[in-house]
Amino acid sequence: RALPDVRDGLKPVHRRILYGLNEQGMTPDKSYKKSARIVGDVMGKYHPHGDLPIYEAMVRMAQDFSYRYPLVDGQGNFGSMDGDGAAAMRYTEARMTKITLELLRDINKDTIDFIDNYDGNEREPSVLPARFPNLLANGASGIAVGMATNIPPHNLTELINGVLSLSKNPDISIAEL
């Protein structure tokens, strides 16, 4: 249970999965790798909370009915809208989607802070550079102590046009926007 960070629109488990994919070089132009390998790497280095929560988070990021702009390109049975669950992680494969590259671009150019992982043996990003407003584009839901959020997804083109209009005219009205 967590709330997403407004800066990149991700909860810690999602951020760690995407960073793990990036560290493994699993870009859209490379071949898919077994989900079990991805989950094991993320669990061992960044998220020691069990393999199932990591896999379930990765599955959701691959579902076009869960994310307006999927962040994981999954191969195999990643579930259905009708409630059918995903196949076991040993049967599925994954890699990043093209839009995910925009969340990670310039990560190694001192654009964000890195923090120690849970045991101090690795470094992980505190937030991703996020060159698009992922929180608004994909929406988010989360629960924390005393608070909750539920943000619907939005069209990325409309979001960017709105940001450009607001940057050109900071006093723009809601009606004009």
Across the chain, mean pLDDT equals 97
Q: CA-CA distance, 109 to 55, in Å (whole number)?
A: 29
For the cut 80, the answer to whether the pLDDT of residue 10 exceeds it is: yes
User: pLDDT tens, 45-62?
Assistant: 999 999 999 999 999 999
Select which of 19, 67, 69, 91 is catalytic.
Answer: 91
Phi, then psi, of 124 in degrees rounded to 5: -135, 155
Which residues lie across from 74 on neighbouring strands?
94
CA distance to 45, 54, 97, 139, 143, per residue, from 20 (Å): 9, 11, 14, 22, 24
For the cut 80, the answer to whether the pLDDT of residue 1 exceeds it is: no
91 is catalytic: yes
Q: Give the chain's domains with CATH numbers.
A: 1-176 (3.90.199.10)
User: pLDDT tens, 54-85?
Assistant: 999 999 999 999 999 999 999 999 999 999 99
Query: What percentage of the chain carries pLDDT values higher than 70?
Result: 100
Which residues lie across from 141 on neighbouring strands?
150
